[in-house]
Copies of this chain bind each other. A is one copy, B any other.
Amino acid sequence: MVELVIVGSVALDTVRTPFGRVESALGGAATYAGFAASFFSSPGLVAVVGRDFPGEHLTLLRKQGIDVSGVNVEGSTFRWEGFYEYDMNEAKTVTTELGSFASFSPVIPADYRRAKYVFLANIDPELQLKVFGQVDAPKLVAMDTMNFWIRSKRAALLEVIGKVDLLLLNDSEARQLFDTPSLVKAAGCALALGPKHVIIKKGEHGALMFSEGSHFSAPGYPLELIKDPTGCGDSFAGALMGYIAETADCSERNLRKAVVYGSVVASFNAEDFSLERLKRLSREEITKRYNEFLQMRSF
């Protein structure tokens, strides 16, 4: 049974970093989030791919326990090409070919509708809005977004934020959306719109979670080698949501643990290109690094 619905993109990425290059490799926000969530619970994806999408990728996702019955096949697959400079903090886009994603409209399969947890990965906020009428009574709905929608679809974006329980965005997006250099102020503005929790992702610097009357600061994991940061934000969100679904506990206390699990899985994801590191990741490795996080922050 699908416990966690993830709506977003499944893509083929061509990525170059100072440590190598992959061409037309498996990518997309929903892919990373679903794979990361699969270590904890049973996710179901809602996405679209083209007829050019290699069948082996769907087989891989299924083998991982991810329900892909919500992934439609039509036209051509969303393709992104980008690269990272030496400092690895920001992806530079070379080309984006939307393909069938240009006319994507999420349809939640009947099997998914009773899932208690929903993650709206980064897509057009107007599409995110279409999901709400299609799920029965979720306990927690989370969303991610990106700077492109902040500029081009601000009103729709604010409407979605008003409907979710948990907003995820990165530090520069938080500053841009609420027009302030202060992450504390930005988080306050976001909470005022409705969400119970706002998580600000800071890449290698970890993440901050703001809730009514409390804040939590999760460290990043100091990696010796960051090969490819693509999908780290999505892996973070996926693991976080997967852990919440597994524990069925939406308390602030448990969300703190979920944030750390998110950081743990994202840190593994950065160690190799595409889904390569997550494909060979075990729950034991996740637990071991979770304990390292505990160690490295105790004082």
A interface residues with partner B (beta carbon < 8 Å): 18, 86-88, 181-185, 187-188, 202, 204-206, 208, 210, 214-220, 222-226, 256-257, 259-260, 294-299
Contact = CB atoms under 8 A, between A and B. Distances in A.
A297 B181 contact: no
A41 to B, nearest CB: 19
Given A206-B205, A222-B208, A215 B296 contact: yes
A260 to B, nearest CB: 5
Given A297-B217, A297-B297, A181 B222 contact: no
Number of copies of this kind of chain in the complex: 2
Given A256-B299, A260-B299, A181 B216 contact: no
A189 to B, nearest CB: 12
Contact of A296 (B188, B202, B216, B257): B216
A222 B217 contact: yes
Nearest to A172: B87
A259 B224 CA distance: 22
5 contacts: A181-B226, A182-B224, A206-B217, A217-B220, A218-B299
Contact of A184 (B88, B182, B217, B223): B223
Given A18-B181, A87-B181, A182-B226, 8 more contacts: A86-B181, A182-B224, A187-B222, A205-B206, A214-B296, A216-B296, A217-B222, A218-B297
